[in-house]
């Protein structure tokens, strides 16, 4: 087997019957990854709960589904090293769909299950670089009638496979090498791009600044675009100045403010030229933004 890959062997731990013990929450994915599933928080408003799903029932099935998802992958990239820990704090909302929300009374329509998960990955080689990220999954299945409780439980179970696959994919991204993070920054999946951008910023991977600049031109999600603009400033590569200036939209003040903040971090002659152009603008608000940005630039580059 290539040293760059590990076959996943799935072992459920803590089946001794100690219902409240911490080790009863864990799944060990080969030698690489230990997953700790914390108790599921039921976020369904009490007045809208068709049934009460026991948190332990949901937790146990989430843990088992994570093991199945891992075993179906067969291999996992070596960025997730032996002893790495993935802690999962799950929240669950469920019920019968209405046009504008949920209802407790079953009627023909859809069963809706929504998982929100905050995951924290601690990599063995560098525990100080523990990384926290969030993901969610919305699952809908038709409910033509029949046993409401059975339908809800089945919908929860059916929602677990895609949720767990996303969690494992996100963990791999968060623990990635420079090569895998470069690919993840340009992934067609927006959640992968978000996690990669946050991880690149946390690790201050200046070597990936050109990739961030390229993705700026291609990014379609405005929130992530703003994150990439800020990331360019954090990484501090002057070569990204043209890409940042290209993102400036005078009518889009949040984006303009983000661009000017990033440019003030980078500094240089090209940035000053851009600020000179904006300082003569008719809009006093824009001139004020330029003055503030120049003040930040002086503090960054005294």
Contact 192, 167 (CB under 8 A): no
Q: What value, to the nearest 5°, has the Cα angle with vertex 132 and ends 128 and 133?
A: 155
The pLDDT assigned to 1 comes to 30
Helix (H) or strand (E) holding 271: helix 269-279
Q: What is the pLDDT of residues 42-67, one digit of tens each?
A: 999 998 888 888 999 999 999 999 88
Question: How large is the C-alpha radius of gyration of the chain?
Answer: 24
pLDDT mean across residues, the chain: 84
Q: What angle in degrees, to the nearest 10, is found between the helix axes of 190-203 and 209-218?
A: 150
The CA distance from 90 to 149, in Å, is 21
Residue 1 in domain:
no
Please check the confidence at residue 19 and state whether its pLDDT lies above 60: no
Residue 96 sits in which domain range?
Answer: 6-176
Residue 136 neighbours by CB under 8 Å, 6+ apart = 114, 115, 116, 117
pLDDT, position 74: 52
pLDDT tens digits, residue range 101-133?
888 888 888 899 999 999 999 877 778 888 899
Count of beta carbons in the 10 Å neighbourhood of residue 38:
16
Q: How confident is the model at residue 178 (pLDDT cuts 50, 70, 90)?
A: confident
Q: Residue 125 is part of a domain; what is its CATH number?
A: 3.30.160
Report the percentage of the chain scoring pLDDT > 90. 50
Does 132 map to a domain?
yes
Helix pair angle (222-235, 190-203), 10° resolution: 20
Confidence check: pLDDT of 79 > 80: no
Say whether pLDDT at 27 is over 70: no
Write the burial class of residue 203 (CB in 10 Å: 0-12 exposed, 13-18 middle, 19+ buried).
middle
Find the range with the poorest average confidence among 25-39, 143-157, 187-201: 25-39
SS3 call for 163: helix
pLDDT at res. 174: 84
Number of domains present in the structure of the chain: 2
- For Cα atoms 114, 117, 121, give the angle at the middle one, nearest 5 degrees: 160
CATH code: domain of residue 250:
1.25.10.10
User: What pTM, to 2 d.p., does this model score?
Assistant: 0.75
pLDDT for residue 4: 26
Q: Would you say residue 86 lies in a domain?
A: yes
Question: Among candidates 100, 68, 76, which has minimal Cα distance to 2?
Answer: 76
């Amino acid at each position: 087997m290539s040293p760059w890959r590990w076959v996943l062997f799935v072992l459920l731990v803590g089946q001794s019957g100690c219902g409240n013990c911490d080790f009863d929450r864990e799944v060990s994915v080969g030698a690489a990854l230990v997953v700790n599933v914390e108790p599921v928080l039921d976020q369904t408003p009490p007045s809208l709960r068709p049934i009460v799903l026991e948190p332990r029932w949901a937790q146990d099935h989430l843990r088992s589904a994570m093991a199945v998802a891992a075993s179906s992958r067969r291999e996992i990239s070596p960025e997730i090293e032996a002893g790495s820990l993935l802690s999962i704090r799950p929240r669950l909302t469920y019920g019968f769909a209405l046009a504008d929300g949920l209802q407790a009374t079953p009627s023909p329509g859809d069963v809706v299950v929504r998982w929100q998960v905050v995951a924290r990955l601690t990599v063995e080689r560098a525990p100080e670089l523990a990384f926290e990220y969030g993901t969610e999954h919305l699952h809908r299945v038709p409910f033509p009638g029949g046993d409401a409780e059975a339908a809800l439980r089945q919908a929860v179970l059916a929602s677990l496979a895609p949720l767990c696959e996303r969690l494992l994919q996100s963990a791999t991204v968060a623990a990635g090498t420079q090569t895998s993070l470069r690919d993840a920054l340009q992934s067609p999946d927006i959640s992968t791009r978000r996690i990669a951008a946050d991880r690149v910023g946390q690790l201050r991977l200046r070597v990936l600044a050109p990739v961030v600049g390229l993705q700026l031109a291609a990014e379609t999600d405005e929130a992530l675009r703003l994150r990439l603009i800020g990331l360019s400033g954090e990484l501090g590569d002057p070569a990204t100045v043209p890409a940042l200036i290209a993102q400036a939209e005078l009518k889009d003040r949040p984006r303009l403010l983000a661009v000017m903040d990033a440019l003030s971090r980078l500094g240089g002659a090209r940035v000053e030229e851009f600020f000179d152009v904006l300082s003569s603008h008719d809009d006093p608000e824009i001139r004020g933004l330029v003055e503030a940005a120049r003040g930040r630039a002086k503090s960054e580059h005294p």
